[in-house]
A and B are shown apart, each in its own frame.
Chain A
Amino acid sequence: AQKVTQAQTEISVVEKEDVTLDCVYETRDTTYYLFWYKQPPSGELVFLIRRNSFDEQNEISGRYSWNFQKSTSSFNFTITASQVVDSAVYFCALGLPVQKLVFGTGTRLLVSP
């Protein structure tokens, strides 16, 4: 069965703190993709990153970084020096053959000034 688990329902931090959002996935497919999306209060999901199953290199983009570990089936997302504008719901998703995305339940991040 394909499944994405985001165990953290809600996280509250103070501005400038670092925060890590966890994502654990399950699939028997050998080829798959992993995604992170951000959903700000406006509601529209914004694509952040895509990773394929053959590329375990970590990625950094500004204050955002992603750690992909196949050994633990995890694809965690870290925000360094968080800002109020980072407040949103973040979804991890698993991309499968025939282009379906399986989403986790989301983690609500609240960054206070």
Chain B
Amino acid sequence: DVKVTQSSRYLVKRTGEKVFLECVQDMDHENMFWYRQDPGLGLRLIYFSYDVKMKEKGDIPEGYSVSREKKERFSLILESASTNQTSMYLCASGPVVTRAYEQYFGPGTRLTVT
């Protein structure tokens, strides 16, 4: 079974803190994604990566950065957390294009910024 794990299920941080959200997948997938999920807005893509050290902006990259130093790990970084970044963050991974856009999701991290 594909397994995507995220470092924390729940996280509480203070405004201005630097926050790291970690995601690890064990299926040797080339593609990895970070989404945030908010009520009434569905899932919105923050950043994605097709390969190690590669990254592409998604639809809402402002206030976030990412790091992919190893194929299996994709980190989302909030340089200076703000209250409007309180949300559920979902990581996903997927194989290359021949597998038709499949994405497998982790359990999510619910981040609260106070």
Residue ranges of A at the interface with B (Cβ–Cβ < 8 Å): 4, 6, 9, 33, 35, 37, 42-47, 50, 52, 91, 93, 95-96, 99-101, 103-106
CB distance from B48 to the nearest CB of A (A): 7
What residues of A have a CB within 8 angstroms of the CB of B90 in the complex?
A: 45
Query: Interface residue tally of chain B, by bracket?
Result: 20 to 34
B-side binding surface: helix, strand, loop or mixed?
strand
What residues of B have a CB within 8 angstroms of the CB of A45 in the complex?
A: 90, 92, 105
Of residues B43, B45, B88, which shows the largest number of chain A Cβ atoms within 10 Å of its Cβ?
B43
Q: Nearest residue in A to B105 (C-beta to C-beta)?
A: A45
Query: Is A99's CB under 8 angstroms from B31's CB?
Result: yes
What residues of A have a CB within 8 angstroms of the CB of B102 in the complex?
A: 47, 50
Add 4 more A-B contacts to A43-B108, A101-B45 (CB < 8 A). Answer: A33-B101, A44-B108, A99-B94, A103-B44
Of residues A42, A43, A44, which shows the largest number of chain B Cβ atoms within 10 Å of its Cβ?
A43
